Amino acid sequence: MFNLFLLQLLNGAQFGILLFLVAAGLTLVFGIMDFINLAHGVLYMVGGYVMAMMMGATNNFWLSLAMVLPLTLAVGLVLEVLVFRRLYDRSHLDQVLATFGLVLVLSELVRIIWGSAPLSVAMPEILSGSVPLAGPVRYPVYRLGVIGVGLGVALALWFVIARTRVGMLLRAGAANRSMVSALGTDINRLFMLVFAAGAMLAGFAGAIVSPILSVDPGMGDSILILTFVVIVIGGVGSVKGAFCAALLAGIVDTLGRMFGPIILKSIMDPAAAAQAGRTIAPMLVYVLMAAVLFWRPAGLFGRSVAR
Partner 1 sequence: MTDLSQALAPARPRLAGRLKLALCIFALMAAVPPLAHALGEPFLIVVATRMMVFAIAALSLDLILGYGAMVSFGHAAYLGFGAYAVAVLSRAGIDDLFLHLLAGIAASAVFAALTGAISLRTRGVYFIMITLAFGQMAFFFFVSFSTLGGDDGVALTARSTVLGMPLLQGAQGMFYVTLALLVLVFAGLYRLTLSRFGRVLTGTRESALRMQAIGFRPFPYQLTAYVIAGCLCSIAGVLLANQAIYVSPAYMSWHRSGEMIVMLVLGGIGSLTGAMVGGLVTIALEEGLARYSEHWRLGFGLILVLVALFSPGGLSGLLRRLGLGRDAT
Interface contacts to partner 1, rule CB under 8 A: 30, 34, 36, 38, 83, 86-87, 90, 92-98, 100-109, 111-112, 221, 225, 228-229, 231-232, 236, 275, 278-279, 282-283, 286-287, 289-290, 293-294, 297-299, 306-307
What is the DSSP annotation of 196-252?
A: HHHHHHHHHHHHHHTTTSPB-TTHHHHHHHHHHHHHHHH-TT-HHHHHHHHHHHHHH
Nearer to partner 1, 22 or 55 (CB): 22
Nearer to partner 1, 65 or 273 (CB): 273
The answer to whether 196 touches 205, Cβ cutoff 8 Å, is no
Nearer to partner 1, 69 or 192 (CB): 192
> SS3 sequence, 177-210?
HHHHHHCCCCHHHHHHHHHHHHHHHHHHHHHHHC
Shortest distance in whole angstroms from residue 231 CB to partner 1: 8
Shortest distance in whole angstroms from residue 175 CB to partner 1: 16
Nearer to partner 1, 58 or 91 (CB): 91
The answer to whether 51 touches 215, Cβ cutoff 8 Å, is yes
Shortest distance in whole angstroms from residue 58 CB to partner 1: 29
Please give the Cα distance from 271 to 206 (Å, whole number). Answer: 37
Nearer to partner 1, 100 or 159 (CB): 100
Which ranges of the chain would DSSP assign to H, the alpha helix?
Answer: 2-33, 40-58, 61-82, 92-114, 141-163, 165-175, 177-182, 187-209, 219-234, 239-265, 270-280, 284-295
Shortest distance in whole angstroms from residue 230 CB to partner 1: 10
What is the DSSP annotation of 121-132?
A: -PPPGGGSSEEE
DSSP letter at 89 equals T
Please give the Cα distance from 77 to 196 (Å, whole number). Answer: 5
Nearer to partner 1, 30 or 142 (CB): 30
The answer to whether 167 touches 35, Cβ cutoff 8 Å, is no
Shortest distance in whole angstroms from residue 225 CB to partner 1: 6
Shortest distance in whole angstroms from residue 138 CB to partner 1: 32
Shortest distance in whole angstroms from residue 64 CB to partner 1: 27
Nearer to partner 1, 127 or 296 (CB): 296
